[in-house]
């Protein structure tokens, strides 16, 4: 590769130099004027004394002298030339006169150019060598192009022997999923045990689930546990511009796999090549369909691929071709869901192996606070916490870093420099307090974990609320209370300011989605037990464009009315709850205005005691609380201070106040 790069880098400069030399030679030749004289004309000018310069060059092979020079009246770039035979006496006379000093012009002689061996080689051999070299260069270049075209149809699958890689110990929280694929490992290790029973191992296993749940990691663990060759490739590596290349790569991949059987083939994001055929407004994709046809044939066609197990991963199983999912191809589908609380704790334990956690960090509590997080989200959360700990020059990761990392993963970094007017700040505080009070007062509403009015992302503040218990189903009462909780912020704005803002944009979006699903999908309205819409439409033409509608225009109006009825009832209930607990709303909102962030424990203390917990020393405050106190006290540069510097600055202010009071 290095030689090829050097050749490609040097050759253009060589050709450039040759081009410059040739151009220079041509121009220099064009500027010279050469007059060819006859023998008689030369003798006449010589006898008349017109010759001013003369150069004699013998050429033994031609048996002549080549004469060149200048005559009187010639321009600077003008010369003459002629050939004189060896037998002519004129050259001898000129040479004799030069010896006697009687010559009236400048004379010079040159050696015979044909007599130099080096010059002979340069003139007669080097041009042929250059021509042959150029021909060889073009020939080898064409060979390289042809070899590339041959390799173009070869598989891009990369081979791993499975040794020293990922094992089931590195895969946490997927207990049932690991049991499903453990049969593949047993078959790869002891195939005769299955063959004696007449059992046929699945030819393909499809891993389906949301992004970041560990599908690729599970496939790597299967190869690591079985300790067999493991081919891995992305679905997009099959699709190319030229028709037939993808099918050729599929054939080559299975050919290589047969030579290393038993082995595993892992195809990531198979939906890139396995989409349904014959769909779309503009017709099918010929290249992708040919690739899919070849994959179907290789997995279960006339040929047999014994000992080859295909594992594929996708989060779009709804777009795959039905022929790909039938028994004999992908016999088994393993759904890899988002982890529950127990699985999240196990995943956190795996990712916390190389992290230095403080004594106050409990993974079980962190698992409770992260419902809906995937394995990738949890790994990112701990990594963000570690980065924050390094940035703050701490020796270990504390709950302060984990809290901040959780907020960063969910909402983005805090925008502390964003300026609010006092009116906006109060409205945001009462908005978030409305959410918090609804969550406290309704049994089936989400549990309030944290409330803040510090802007993050596109939100002016947010309320971290998690379900009291994780469930796979939801009752009508629970859904209605979720909508009520989402509308609590808007209701609080209206009750306390007699005005509404755009801060409820995301709340209304979520509430409307739940209300529509209750009416059209779950049968939880007066329209009866009818599913009027499907969860997803055709993905090829757009979900909204071809969304399944099993109702008339009259029913569509009734759907809108039922949704409005649900939203209005929940909004009225939210206003009722907030009106009955107006003092609590005010208490939480005013506390938010003072401290900016309230934790679950602080909110519970507020509800029980009607005031924030008293802190004996400043060291008991966290950094956020200290900065809030420093801001209210007018400490300059508080945002850049460490916790120790904040405590010292606040202590100094207290001492100054005491001294002033004494005076």
Task: Identify whether the C-beta of residue 64 lies closer than 8 Å to the C-beta of residue 84.
Answer: yes
Q: Which two tokens stand for residue 195?
A: 């063959």
Strand partners, 414: 456
Token pair for 15: 């050709």
Which uninterrupted H or E stretch holds 489? helix 488-497
Please answer whether residues 451 and 490 qualify as being in contact, where contact means their C-beta atoms are separated by less than 8 angstroms. Answer: no
Q: Which residues pair with 263 in a beta bridge?
A: 308
Q: Supply the DSSP symbol for 337.
A: P
Q: Do residues 309 and 265 lie in contact, with contact meaning Cβ atoms separated by under 8 Å?
A: yes
CB 416 within 8 A of CB 454: yes
507's tokens = 């709340």
Catalytic residue among 401, 432, 596, 625: 432
Query: Can you tell me the distance from the alpha carbon of 372 to that of 391, in angstroms, rounded to the nearest whole number?
Result: 28
Query: Quick one: tokens of 60?
Result: 């033994």
- Tell me the sheet residues that pair with 160: 230
Sheet holding 230-234, edge to edge: 158-160, 230-234, 263-268, 308-314, 204-208, 332-335
Task: Kindly report each contact of residues 458-461 with a partner whose C-beta sits within 8 Å and lies 24 or more positions away, as own/partner.
Answer: 459/411, 459/506, 460/420, 460/424, 460/428, 460/431, 460/503, 461/428, 461/429, 461/431, 461/432, 461/592
Closest CA to 568 of 492, 627, 483: 483
Pairing of strands 447-452, 230-234: unpaired
Residue 65 to residue 59: CA distance in whole angstroms: 6
CA angle 335, 336, 342 (to 5 degrees): 130
Type and span of the H or E element at 514: helix 505-520
Element spanning 411, H or E: helix 399-411
Our answer to whether residue 432 is catalytic in this structure is: yes
Helix, strand or coil for residue 203? Answer: coil
DSSP 319-364: GB-HHHHSTTTS-EEEE-PPP-HHHHHHHHHHHTTTS-B-TT--HH
Active site residue ranges:
432
């Amino acid at each position: 590769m290095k030689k090829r790069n050097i050749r490609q880098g040097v050759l253009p400069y060589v050709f450039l130099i040759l081009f410059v030399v040739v151009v220079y030679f041509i121009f220099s030749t064009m500027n010279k004027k050469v007059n060819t004289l006859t023998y008689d004309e030369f003798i006449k000018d010589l006898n008349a004394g017109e010759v001013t310069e003369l150069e004699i060059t013998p050429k033994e092979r031609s048996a002549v002298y080549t004469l060149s020079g200048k005559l009187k009246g010639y321009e600077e770039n003008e010369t003459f030339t002629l050939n004189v035979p060896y037998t002519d006496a004129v050259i001898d006379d000129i040479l004799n006169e030069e010896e006697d000093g009687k010559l009236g012009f400048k004379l010079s002689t040159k050696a015979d150019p044909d007599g130099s061996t080096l010059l002979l080689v340069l003139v007669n051999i080097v041009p042929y060598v250059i021509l042959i070299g150029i021909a060889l260069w073009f020939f080898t270049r064409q060979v390289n192009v042809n070899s590339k075209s041959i390799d173009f149809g070869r598989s891009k699958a990369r081979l791993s022997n499975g040794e020293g890689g990922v094992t089931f110990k590195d895969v946490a929280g997927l207990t049932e999923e690991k049991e499903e694929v453990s049969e593949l490992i047993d078959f790869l290790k002891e195939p005769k045990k299955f063959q004696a029973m007449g059992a046929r191992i699945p030819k393909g296993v499809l891993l389906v689930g949301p992004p970041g749940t560990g599908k690729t990691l599970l496939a790597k663990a299967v190869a690591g546990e079985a300790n067999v060759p493991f081919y891995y490739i992305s679905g997009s590596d099959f699709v190319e511009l030229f028709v037939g290349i993808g099918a050729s790569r599929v054939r080559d991949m299975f050919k290589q796999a047969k030579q290393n059987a038993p082995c595993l083939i892992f195809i990531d994001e198979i939906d890139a090549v396995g989409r349904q055929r014959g769909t779309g407004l503009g017709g099918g994709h010929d290249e992708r369909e040919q690739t899919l046809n070849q994959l179907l044939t290789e997995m279960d066609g006339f040929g047999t691929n014994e000992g080859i197990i295909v594992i594929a991963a996708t989060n779009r199983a709804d777009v795959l071709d039905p022929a790909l999912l039938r028994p004999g191809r992908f016999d088994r589908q393993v759904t890899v869901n988002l982890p529950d609380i127990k699985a999240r704790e196990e995943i956190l334990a795996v990712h916390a192996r190389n992290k230095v956690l403080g004594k106050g960090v409990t993974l079980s509590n962190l698992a409770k606070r992260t419902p809906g997080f995937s394995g990738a989200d949890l790994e990112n959360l701990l990594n963000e916490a570690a980065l924050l700990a390094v940035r703050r020059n701490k020796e270990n990761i504390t709950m302060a870093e984990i809290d901040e990392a959780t907020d960063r993963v969910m909402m983005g970094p805090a925008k502390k420099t964003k300026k609010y007017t006092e009116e906006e700040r109060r409205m945001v505080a009462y908005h978030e307090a409305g959410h918090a009070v609804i969550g406290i007062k309704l049994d089936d509403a989400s549990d309030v974990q944290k409330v803040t009015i510090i802007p993050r992302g596109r939100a002016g503040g947010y309320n971290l609320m998690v379900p009291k218990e994780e469930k796979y189903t939801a009752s009508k009462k629970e859904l209605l209370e979720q909508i009520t909780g989402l509308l609590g912020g808007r209701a609080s704005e209206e009750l306390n300011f007699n005005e509404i803002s755009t801060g409820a944009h995301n709340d209304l979006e979520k509430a409307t989605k739940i209300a529509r699903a209750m009416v059209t999908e779950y049968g939880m309205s007066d329209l009866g037990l009818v599913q009027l819409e499907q969860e997803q439409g055709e993905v090829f033409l757009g979900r909204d464009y071809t969304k399944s509608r099993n109702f008339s225009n009259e029913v569509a109006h009734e759907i809108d009315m039922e949704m409005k009825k649900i939203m209005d009832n929940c909004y009225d209930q939210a206003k009722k709850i907030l009106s009955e607990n107006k003092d609590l709303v005010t208490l939480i909102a005013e506390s938010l205005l003072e401290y900016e962030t309230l934790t679950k424990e602080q909110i519970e203390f507020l509800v029980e005691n009607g005031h924030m917990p008293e802190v004996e020393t400043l060291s008991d405050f966290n950094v956020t609380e200290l900065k809030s106190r420093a801001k209210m006290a007018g400490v300059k540069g508080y945002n850049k201070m460490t916790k120790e510097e904040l405590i010292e600055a606040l202590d100094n202010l207290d001492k100054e106040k005491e001294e002033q009071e004494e005076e």
